[in-house]
Amino acid sequence: MSSPIQLQPDETFVLNVGPQHPATHGVLRVKMEMNGEYIVDAETVIGYIHRMHEKMGENKTYPQYLMNLSRMDYLGALGYSHGHVLVVEKAAGIEVPERAEYIRAIMVELNRVASHLFWFGAFVMDLGGFSPLMYALQDREYILDMLEAVTGSRLTYCYFRFGGLYNDIDDDFIDAARRFIPRMRKSLIKYDKLVTGNIIFRKRLEGNALLSKETCRKYGASSAVARGSGINFDVRKNEPYSVYPDFDFDVPVYHEGDSLARYMVRMEEMEQSLRIIEQGLDKLPDGPIMPKKKPKLIKPPAGDYYQAVETARGSFGVRLVSDGTKTPYRLKLRSPTYSNMHLFDESCRGMMIMDALAFMGSLDLVIPEIDR
Amino acid sequence: MVTYFKDIYSGLVSLFIGMEVTFKEFFKPTVTVQYPYETLTMTERYRGHVELIENDEGKPNCIVCGLCQRACPSACITLAGVKPEGEKKKVLTKYILDFTRCSLCGSCVESCNFNALEFSKEYNLASTRREDFIFDLLQRLEDRNK
Ligand code: SF4
Ligand code: SF4
């Protein structure tokens, strides 16, 4: 939205949003230069929760680093672990049994739905609606219970292993997942009625924070941010990995580029994830979840390896440079939110502050994942 | 002008549809648990901090091989043992877990080949003192058997 008043740069003041602010969902600081309620310039300041994950990757052995990945994005942790195990398996030439790969995909998709649910609740709460958060958390709780029963933890899973999984899923899990899918579909209709159709919600988001394709490309945005601006890119489709080619699912793309488009993409992604889970459960092959010869010492041959995966927050890449020893020479983690967030500085100029916060909510930021 | 009123009308309808949802939810059963009056049992695979497994005689299964200590990414485990005269196996004398650093990754449990470590179901662990999270697992095992 363009600002109706003429901005007077000499009459500005600096507003500090964060590092502890409910709207930033984590320890992110945004230094905003304001003219009244309009943003003249903004600068996102990151690094408040930097924990040297990449450096730790160079010091720890491969198996010891497994649990670090789930500490990056605490809402969609499994997607990140998936990227890491895949790149190490590629490097060390470890075969993964088919069943393990299917279970991984099911788990990652469940985790994606959980993550989107939390984003949905938090986003609507940013806009002033509280009940949707409670409903979303209730649905998310079913997923967390399922994941807890299998993996042993609720958020920071350490479930994937090189070559397979920590332990197998049981019939209870399969039953619970099958019961969950229709329930979640019903909930999606409920959210549609309660939020998507709501006139106040729509009026606030339509035309809010238009992002062009070029901006998205320039900053390397992915996930719903790019797909809401008409870029049809999903790593699961464009550079298929794991067992995703076996599944039939669509990539929702909207061309409007506003906050509502980003919202719609994520809401439809949940339905697509449910479809993948359904197919995964149907096709789930029997067999072992670890290769016959469990890889004991992991020492990938020297080389440069890369693997990208589609996490709940966008395309996450792991670049592994091995020098043939027990620890990586370099482990670069390409964080999707890092790119998605940096759009904000440029795009929020001239916006009103409440529009900018709605925009920030639509980006789905998880700060520990940016800082790593 | 007509669209203006149409907008108001459809807007109002959308609000009422939303209210209908919340109204229905109001009469749905409560799903939350009134902690601490009610608690949930932890699932079979729940990961609390690690705990020593004892054998039939109430002694730890551990033979002080030190694999768990080496597998731990955060160096949480300190252990010691002695080899009594005439015995084949070492006997555990000290097993300290520094839970302030533990990430519950499970490397220690997986690395143990002697069925000596397991995850506990402990989750009520709030404290204001750092020392409360340094667990003497051997002591805990003895306390359990008291
Ligand atoms: S669970 Fe992991 S971090 Fe905790 S003591 Fe065991 S190996 Fe160390
Ligand atoms: S790996 Fe098992 S047997 Fe070895 S020291 Fe640790 S607990 Fe004891």
- Tokens 């359990």 locate to B144
Mean predicted confidence (pLDDT) in A13-21:
80
**Predicted ipTM beyond 0.90:** no
For an interface test with A, the pick among B22, B28, B45, B121 (most A C-beta atoms closer than 10 Å) comes out as: B45
- Does B106 sit in the ligand 1 pocket, CB within 6 Å? yes
| Set of chain B residues whose Cβ sits within 8 Å of the Cβ of A141 | 31
| Set of chain A residues whose Cβ sits within 8 Å of the Cβ of B45 | 148-152, 167
Identify whether B30 is part of a domain. no
Give the chain A residue nearest B74 (alpha carbons). Answer: A64
Neighbour-count burial for A132-170, b at 16+ CB within 10 Å, e otherwise: bbebbbbbbebbbebbbbbbbbbbbbbbbbbbbbbeebe
Q: How far is the CA of B69 from the centre of ligand 2 (A)?
A: 8
Q: How far is the CA of A137 from the centre of ligand 1 (A)?
A: 30
- Domains (range + CATH), chain A: 66-297 (1.10.645.10)
Residue percentage of chain B with pLDDT more than 90: 0
Mean predicted confidence (pLDDT) in A96-116:
90
Identify whether B21 is part of a domain. no
Q: How far is A368 from A76, CA to CA, in rounded Å? A: 12
- Predicted confidence at residue A7, as pLDDT, reads 57
Identify whether B33 is part of a domain. no
Identify whether B128 is part of a domain. yes
Backbone phi and psi for residue A6, each to the nearest 5 degrees, phi listed first: -80, 125
Give the chain B residue nearest A199 (alpha carbons). Answer: B11
pLDDT digits (tens, 9 = 90+) for A198-247: 888 888 888 888 888 888 888 888 888 888 888 888 888 888 888 888 88
**Strands B134-136 and B91-98: what pairing?**
antiparallel
Which residue from A241, A280, A296 is spatially nearest to A94, judged by alpha carbons?
Answer: A296
Cβ <8 Å between B119 and A152: yes
- Closest Cα of chain B to A345: distance in Å? 33
Mean predicted confidence (pLDDT) in A146-164:
86
Q: Which tokens is B52 given?
A: 């020593």
Model confidence band, residue A5 (pLDDT cutoffs 50, 70, 90): low
Identify whether B31 is part of a domain. no
Please say if the pLDDT value at position A26 is more than 80: no
Please say if the pLDDT value at position B143 is more than 60: yes
Mean predicted confidence (pLDDT) in A296-313:
86
For an interface test with A, the pick among B25, B119, B120 (most A C-beta atoms closer than 10 Å) comes out as: B25
- Does B72 sit in the ligand 2 pocket, CB within 6 Å? no
The pTM assigned to this predicted structure is 0.87
Mean predicted confidence (pLDDT) in A344-372:
85
Domain count for chain B: 1
- Does B141 sit in the ligand 1 pocket, CB within 6 Å? no
pLDDT digits (tens, 9 = 90+) for B12-56: 887 888 788 788 888 888 888 888 888 888 888 888 888 888 777
Which amino acid, A116? H
Q: How far is A110 from A174, CA to CA, in rounded Å? A: 12
- Predicted confidence at residue A4, as pLDDT, reads 54
Cβ <8 Å between B18 and A71: no
Which residue from A68, A32, A31, A66 is spatially nearest to A48, judged by alpha carbons?
Answer: A31
Within 10 Å of residue A212's Cβ, how many Cβ atoms?
12
Residues B15 and A198: beta-carbon distance below 8 Å: yes
**CATH number, residue B92:** 3.30.70.3270
Element (H, E) at A35: strand A29-35
Please say if the pLDDT value at position A40 is more than 80: yes
Identify whether B78 is part of a domain. yes
Q: Which atom of ligand 1 is nearest to the CA of B117?
A: 6
Within 10 Å of residue A314's Cβ, how many Cβ atoms?
29
Residues A366 and A313: beta-carbon distance below 8 Å: yes
* Atom 6 of ligand 1, residue of closest alpha carbon: B108
Q: Is residue A149 less than 8 Å (CB to CB) from chain B? A: yes
Residue percentage of chain A with pLDDT more than 70: 97
- Predicted confidence at residue A259, as pLDDT, reads 87
Please say if the pLDDT value at position A6 is more than 70: no
Please say if the pLDDT value at position A11 is more than 80: no
- Predicted confidence at residue A8, as pLDDT, reads 60
Model confidence band, residue A364 (pLDDT cutoffs 50, 70, 90): confident
| Set of chain B residues whose Cβ sits within 8 Å of the Cβ of A368 | none
- Predicted confidence at residue B59, as pLDDT, reads 76
Q: How far is B62 from A245, CA to CA, in rounded Å? A: 46
Identify whether B22 is part of a domain. no
- Does B48 sit in the ligand 2 pocket, CB within 6 Å? no
Identify whether B63 is part of a domain. yes
Ligand 2 mutation pick, B93, B112, B113, B137, max ligand atoms within 8 A of CB: B112
- Predicted confidence at residue A24, as pLDDT, reads 66
Model confidence band, residue A348 (pLDDT cutoffs 50, 70, 90): confident
Q: Whole-number mean pLDDT of chain B?
A: 82
Give the chain A residue nearest B25 (alpha carbons). Answer: A135
- Residue B76's domain comprises 50-145
| Set of chain B residues whose Cβ sits within 8 Å of the Cβ of A171 | none
The number of the ligand nearest the C-alpha atom of A152 reads 1
- Does B54 sit in the ligand 2 pocket, CB within 6 Å? no
Mean predicted confidence (pLDDT) in A166-190:
88
For an interface test with A, the pick among B9, B32, B47 (most A C-beta atoms closer than 10 Å) comes out as: B47
